[in-house]
Amino acid sequence: METRKNRKFLGVKFNCCQVYTRIYMNRNGTHYEGGCPRCGRLLRVRVDPINGVNTRFLESV
């Protein structure tokens, strides 16, 4: 089991509210999931099973 310190994450700037936060990988390792801390807009980023994700910081549209 991964500890909170070792959890994989992506940094995301939510343009809807101009805030930055992290979204974390789900338990199955198939997606990074999270939401805007102000308005609750959800974001889900699929992880390619072979190549993973090629960036660690994103901007939502």
- Separation between Cα atoms, residue 12 and residue 2, nearest integer Å: 21
Domain boundaries, the chain: 4-49
What's the pLDDT tens digit per position in 4-59? 678 899 999 999 999 999 999 999 999 999 999 999 999 999 988 888 778 888 89
- Contacting residues for 19 by C-beta, under 8 A, at least 6 apart: 13, 36, 37, 38
Which regions of the chain does DSSP assign to beta strands (E)? Answer: 9-14, 19-25, 31-35, 42-46, 57-59
pLDDT confidence band for 2 (50 / 70 / 90): low
List phi, psi (to 5°) of 21.
-155, 180
Which pair of structure tokens corresponds to residue 61?
Answer: 């549209």
pLDDT at 1 over 60: no
Q: What is the pLDDT of residue 16?
A: 95
Q: What is the pLDDT of residue 4?
A: 65
Residue tagged 């936060």 (tokens): 21
Q: What is the pLDDT of residue 3?
A: 63
